[in-house]
Structure 1
Amino acid sequence: MKTNIHVILKKEELDPSKINNKVVVVFDILLATSTIATLFHYGAKSVIPVENGEKAYEISNSNKEKDYLLVGEYEGKAIHGFLEPHPTAFKSEAKDRNVILSTTNGTVAIKKATTGKRVYAASLLNSESVVNDIVQSLKEENILLVCAGSSDTFCIEDFYGAGYFIECLKNEIDLNYTDSAKAAHLFYLAHRTNTVELFQESRVGKMLMDYGFERELEFITQHSSFEEVPILRNGELQVKEVVSRKK
């Protein structure tokens, strides 16, 4: 039996009332889900996605014993008192920490997807491992890939990420594509040899380049270099046991 796969082009199109029987995978390649994968790769215990800085402070102040690491931005600028959510910034900060993460789009998308049967955060960095985990646990659920987008606009980097995820997935199970899923896969195939350049030319990519974050763009375009699988449980992302990659 084939598994249905669909791609939503921006989080605003997501209807939480219609996903309780679906496996949901959220992409915010620049930069929230890439940051999440990297935080776990560097040893974070958990990542709590929140809608805004106020909610982050509320959670942090309600449980001071946990000594949360606050990471966040709004409209591309760091929230006062928070670390900037750029993946290369956490190597010495994340180990054994509980993180509260607030971003303009990615964490909002994850929060909106919480009604899904299983909810993952994926990026180029860890797509293959997330795919392997889904394949091992998949029964009869359909798969929904959610591109976070940027403030109600479409983002090509998330679309590319969904296409790459489909490329990994199609080698493991038979898929029945919607048009948006087929388009995402074809888009990935057309641009897989020029990922960095593509991202640099995207709207969000240009903004990051203006801020001097060329290193981050190059870092997050590493395809399936991490094995950590972030899955949402009781409102926070946790890492499942590392799934061995299929040879």
Structure 2
Amino acid sequence: MKIHLLWKKEEIEERHINEDKIAVVFDVLLATSTIASCLASGARQIIPVLNPEEAFRMKDKLNSATEDTLLAGETDGLPVEGFINPLPSILNSQVAGKTIILSTTNGTVAIRKAAPAKKVYTASLLNGEAVGKRIADTHDNETIVAICSGSRNNFCMEDYYGAGYFIHCLIREMDDAELTDSARSAQLFYENMKEEAVSVLAQSSVGQMLSDYGFYEDVAYVSQRGIMDVVPRLNEAGTVLMDEGDTFSEHGPAEKQRHHL
């Protein structure tokens, strides 16, 4: 298995992402953490969209079939008017049985850009171990591309750290793996800072911004490693669902532990 890493979503090109690749998208603050948290809290599905305008169009389309739909979205860390702020502390108690249409500045854009890949998973610190195990169990001799979403064409330290955690977990499950320098550097960064997750996220530019807005509690929450067994995957219809093989209970997907805000 070959493992590569892209520093930001703007690096996605056809040669990087096509039907020969398995993509794993990271937007640790906050889209892919929010996706994991929503699915662990019982959401039916997440629909990632490019912008609020597409979100409204999608909701109008879905309302002909169901009213169990929530709009969640932010632009530059602030909630969009008419949308729920896409923070775990706000969404977790509202999503059970619901479809979430999610619009974020970077993460949902990265997921959509990665769609040409053979499979697209989303991961964070919350569920990076589960995604790594699933890929190790179901894919062999594939090329895995970890995609850091970044922020408006800038590198983001928290995505790099989250990708390093995922790579650390993935190669722990395998006998052999070939890492590019970018993937190896993320792995080493995580392993050298693995006990500093809260500090890494809080000191990142996005973490500082969220803390300034009063959302430090969410930054701390999503810094927890491996507490969720959910494996979110983008399907051909553009919807993120639990990947086949996850464990469900009557109350929704199983979590390793319940770490509520």
Aligned to 1:66: 66
User: Structure 1 pair 101/166, CA: closer, same or farther in 2 (3 Å)?
Assistant: same
TM-score (norm 1): 0.95
Aligned to 2:241: 238
Give the C-alpha shift of residue 89 in structure 1: 1.3
Name whichever structure is richer in helix by fraction: 1
Q: Distance in 2 between matches of 1:198 and 1:227?
A: 23
TM-score (norm 2): 0.90
Encode CA deviations 1:34-76: one digit per residue, 9 max, x unaligned. Answer: 0000000110000000000000000101221322110000111
| 2:115 alignment partner AA | T
Give the C-alpha shift of residue 213 in structure 1: 0.9
Matches within 5 A, 1:1-247: 3-16=1-14, 18-19=16-17, 20-64=19-63, 65-67=65-67, 68-173=69-174, 174-233=176-235, 234-240=237-243, 241-242=245-246
Give the C-alpha shift of residue 18 in structure 1: 4.1
Encode CA deviations 1:67-110: one digit per residue, 9 max, x unaligned. Answer: 21100001111111100111121222100001100000000000
Contact 1:7 1:145 in 2 (8 A): yes
| 1:237 alignment partner AA | V
Structure 1 residues without counterparts, runs of 5 or longer: none
Contact 2:132 2:166 in 1 (8 A): yes
Give the C-alpha shift of residue 128 in structure 1: 1.1
Encode CA deviations 1:10-55: one digit per residue, 9 max, x unaligned. Answer: 0000114542211100000000000000000110000000000000
TM superposition outliers: structure 1 runs of 4+ over 3 Å: none
| Percent sequence identity over aligned pairs | 43
Give the C-alpha shift of residue 191 in structure 1: 1.0
Q: Distance in 2 between matches of 1:101 and 1:17?
A: 28
Give the C-alpha shift of residue 139 in structure 1: 2.9
Structure 2 residues without counterparts, runs of 5 or longer: 248-253, 256-261
Give the C-alpha shift of residue 242 in structure 1: 1.6
Provide the aligned C-alpha RMSD in A.
1.5
